[in-house]
Every structure is written in structure tokens, then in C-alpha cells.
Amino acid sequence: MQTLPSAAVPPALKRRIPRVADLAPLMQFKKPEFGAAARLQRANTTWDLRDMAKRRTPTAPFDYTDGAAEAEISLGRAREAFLDLEFRPGILRNVQTVSTVTPILGGNSALPFGIAPTGFTRMMQSEGEYAGSQAAEAAGIPYTLSTMGTASIEDVAQAAPNGRNWFQLYLWTDRDRSMELIARAAAAGNDTLMVTVDTAVAGARLRDVRNGMTIPPALTLKTVLDASYRPAWWFNFLTHEPLSFASLSRYSGTVADLINSMFDPTLTYEDLDWLRSVWKGNLVVKGIQTLDDAKKAVDHGADGIILSNHGGRQLDRAPIPLHLLPRVAAELKGKTDIILDTGIMSGGDIVAAVALGADFTLIGRAYLYGLMAGGRKGVDRTIEILGTQTARTMQLLGVNRIEDLNPDHVRLLGDATADVELPRAAVTL
């Protein structure tokens, strides 16, 4: 290789002995930061929070959150659907300011997502539903308490008195008990009742079976050893009120046994009519997996529908909510509020769902990963991460407002029409 004559070498490329004054600006060391707040701040994605959660939580409660039914194909496909899409950005738009305010069920949410109902939440981390409801209140988004929650309807209302609290209902075979829960939800100020309809029987959640997941948790030698090197979780578990389903009677047995003994496999649309007659607030049907059922739910009085396969925790190989969404939106957009859950792990996922026709989304596992990673502060961090990602994705798409998102901004790869080609293989992330 021919070298340049010394006269032709630019001054910046001539070697010299570095001066201390030149090195000083380049050798500034960041002060070490310790503690939960610093640890959570280092999390940049919900996957980072999941890694933290796994390190800090015993196997049984972590797997209860992380797992799904049977081979977990439904969950893998739902997540793959969000990966297998293409954004179509618009350029040369003024996106200096962005509003993520989203109208939903007669009110506004500061972000286009809320917290989904999750059962047994204080098993994941002792702050449980209290952390979720208070974080949602602070962020200005809805929070949904599950029938199988470990804090009562009244306690959540007291913990987050200014929050928008919703209640999720499993219809019991005992209608008087169902009516009692409905009355309590109304008295506590819940404006929305979310009835789940995809649990005629329990799905086969094999991780829970292998881990011996019971209610309350059984302290076997295996569970004690597993928890022993997670002292914070162990300390919290032993020093707080014993776990139980706060809205239910005391129950001892497996999760599947509880579902199979309590929930009604004979439910029909007539039961939805009954609910519509006794509940005066917003009625939302969760667990819609076909266009036909979406239409019927609206015909029977639903103010909103949730396209969901229960996070993949019920029927394995169930329809993928994101793939179903465009067909439902084409028929029902503007006639009912369309909400989507299952597989959401980023703000980009949320933006894609809204662009394809969802009015709103719900997060379940993503919120629980934050809870397990750091209690209330972890949930705050989850919401912060998803909110930041949502706003940034909107800006990069050239969009200022949630209502400006539309199907032109997203293409499901391999989907030229509404007949979406399913992924060829499950991807468990």
C-alpha cells in the first residue's frame, strides 16, 4: 500500500503523545448507582423487566405468570404476530408534540393501554393489586381487578380512590354470588364490568401442574429451596397477610380445580342478556375469538369487546387476536369499543394494534413482570417504558395523535387481505 508523503498527512492524523488535559474529558467515570430505583431505571424494555422478575421470583409464581396452556403455541403465535409486521412511516410531518390520550368507554386514558385483570397477583409480589391500581391511577390509565384477585374490590377502591377502576367478572353457577360481586363493584365506583367468557373449563397450564401450583401455595421442600435464594420475595411472603382470593370464599386446591368447580360451562348469550339487565355501567365481553361472536356480543348489549385468547392460557392453537382484529374492525369499528390483548410487550405492539383498528389495548404479563421486578416502582417503570415507546413510534410514523393512526401505517407481512396466513411455527419468546 502506498503511503502519503508526510506533507500530505492531515494534522489530525499525525501521531502525538496525548496530553492529560486532552484525556480528562474522555475519562469521566459515572458514579455507581445501587438500589431498586437504579436497577429498574436500567431496564429499557419489558423483556429487561422480565429478566429481573425471573431472578427475583420463585419458579412457581413466575411460571404462573410467564406460562400458557399445553405447548404454549397460542402465546408464541400471538407474540410472533407482532414481530411479523411492517410499519409504514410518513415523513416530513411536524411531530414535535405527540398526544397519547385515548378515548375509551366514555372516558379518557392518558395512554392507549390499561392494566388487564390478573389472578393471584400478590403471589407474584406482595404489593400485588395495590401496586397495579395505584400505578395506573398515577399514570391516568384504567386498572382492572380480577374476580380471582388477591385484594378486594373495596380495598382497591380505597387504595386508588381517584383511579378509573374496572372489575372483571367470572359468572358463577351460583347467580346470587355473582350478583353480590356486581353490586359491590358498582358500590365501589367501578364504571366498567368486564365479563370473561373463554373459561368454560380450565386450560391445561402444564407449568403450574409441574410446579404443584396451589391456592394457597404449598410449602414443600422444593418450593422452600427455590425461594431460599430469593430473600426479598421470601421475606415479603412471610410478613404479609396470607394469600387468598379476596373476592371469593376461602379455597384450597389447584387453580384448575377452582375454575372447574366454580365457573359455569353452561353459559349462553342469555346469560349475557341477564348481565346487561342488571349492570348499568359499561359492559365489556372478554375472550372474543371469532368475528361471528364479536357481532353477537354487540347485538346482546356489549359496549365493548376484547379480542383475546386469554394470553394463550386456555385453548392452545387459538386464533391470534392481532390477525382477527382487521376483520372485526371492518365490521364493528364505531359500533362498539374494540380492545385487544395477548402478546403485547412493547409500545410498538400497542401502536400496531391501534393502527389496525383497536380502540384500546390491555397489558397483563408486561405489568406483572414489572411488579415482580420491583413492586409499585416496577409497575411504574413498565408504564413509563411502554408510554415512551408508544410516543416514539408515533413520531417515527409521522403521527401526532392516537386517532390519526390507521391501517395504512401497518402491514401484516404475508397478509394481502383479511385472510391472514398463520405463522408456520410457534415462537416462544
What are the grid coordinates assigned to 132, written together? 397495579
Q: Active site residue: 240, 310, 323, 409, which one?
A: 310
Residue with cell 386464533: 319
Q: Which of 268, 259, 317, 263 is nearest to 293 (CA)?
A: 268
d(CA 138, CA 133): 9
Per residue, the 3-state secondary structure of the chain, as one string, reads CCCCCHHHCCHHHCCCCCCHHHHHHHCCCCCCCCCHHHHHHCCCCHHHHHHHHHHHCCHHHHHHHHCCCCCCHHHHHHHHHHHCEEECCCCCCCCCCCECCEEECCEEECCCEEECCCCCHHHHCCCHHHHHHHHHHHHCCCEEECCCCCCCHHHHHHHCCCCCEEEEECCECCHHHHHHHHHHHHHCCCCEEEEECCCCCCCCCHHHHHHCCEECCCCCHHHHHHHHCCHHHHHHHHHCCCCCCCCCCCCCEEHHHHHHHHECCCCCHHHHHHHHHHCCCEEEEEEECCHHHHHHHHHCCCCEEEECCHHHCCCCCCCCHHHHHHHHHHHHECCEEEEECCCCCCHHHHHHHHHCCCCEEEECHHHHHHHHHHHHHHHHHHHHHHHHHHHHHHHHHCCCEHHHCCHHHEEECCCCCCCCCCCCCCCCC
Planar angle of CA 418, 422, 423, nearest 5 degrees: 140
Chain mean position to CA 236: 24
Residue with cell 375469538: 289
- 409 catalytic residue (yes or no): no
Residue 196: beta bridge partners?
286
Where in the sequence numbering do the catalytic residues fall?
A: 310
